[in-house]
Amino acid sequence: MKRSFDIMIVGIGGQGTILASNVLGEACLVEGRSVRGAETHGMAQRGGSVESQIRIDAEFGPLIVPGTADLLIAFDLLEAVRYRHYLKSGGVMVINNQLVLPTSTFTTGQVPPTTDDIIGMLKGVKMEIIDATAIATAAGSPLAANIALIGAASHTIPLTLESLLEGVRRCVPKKTIPINEKAFLDGRDAIQS
């Protein structure tokens, strides 16, 4: 039995996690690879957590069992902490350095965690943290941060560079293809293989 490569993509509603998973799915189709996916986005429009699960070459089911994901792509530092239990030992996290604090932090008087606090919570996990928002902004739009993160994670994903770029071209609006291609490549360059 061929082992699947399991990718968990997590973020907050509106950050583009579902588009990112669609890019990976399209890249799999370009290569003729089996792909299964699932997503949860119930309260996403209210800043809720969104997760997408992508299983490349999976034989059974679209859901990733906690502790078995090969790669976790987090669009926010808190989401990386929230979903780290999905990552297998030796798995990799690629994280945007963005920190979106829940509204309850401000209404209950809680002291919000700092970026250093959160990175401390992830100690022992193999991770790469990039400023995907800045990379995307430099490419032409902060909305392409999700694509910059896919680019940064592309060193780990078992798909070719051309397939991933074709996935981007197929999923983003036509007029934004150049911006998204640049965000992808600049995100890829932000992490050396």
CA-CA-CA-CA torsion sign (183, 185, 188, 189): negative
For the entire predicted model, the pTM comes to 0.90
Residue 69: is its pLDDT beyond 60?
yes
Count of CB atoms within 10 A of residue 183's CB? 31
What gap in Å lies between CA 143 and CA 61, rounded to an integer? 31
In this predicted model, what pLDDT tens digit does every residue of 77-113 receive, in sequence order?
Answer: 999 999 999 999 999 999 999 887 765 555 566 777 8
Indicate the pLDDT class of residue 118, thresholds 50, 70 and 90.
Answer: confident
The alpha carbon of residue 153 and the mean position of all alpha carbons in its chain are separated, in whole angstroms, by: 8
Domains for the chain: give ranges and CATH numbers. Answer: 5-100+114-190 (3.40.920.10)
What pairing do the DSSP bridges indicate for beta strands 35-40 and 69-74? unpaired
Strand partners, 56: 5, 35
What gap in Å lies between CA 167 and CA 77, rounded to an integer? 26
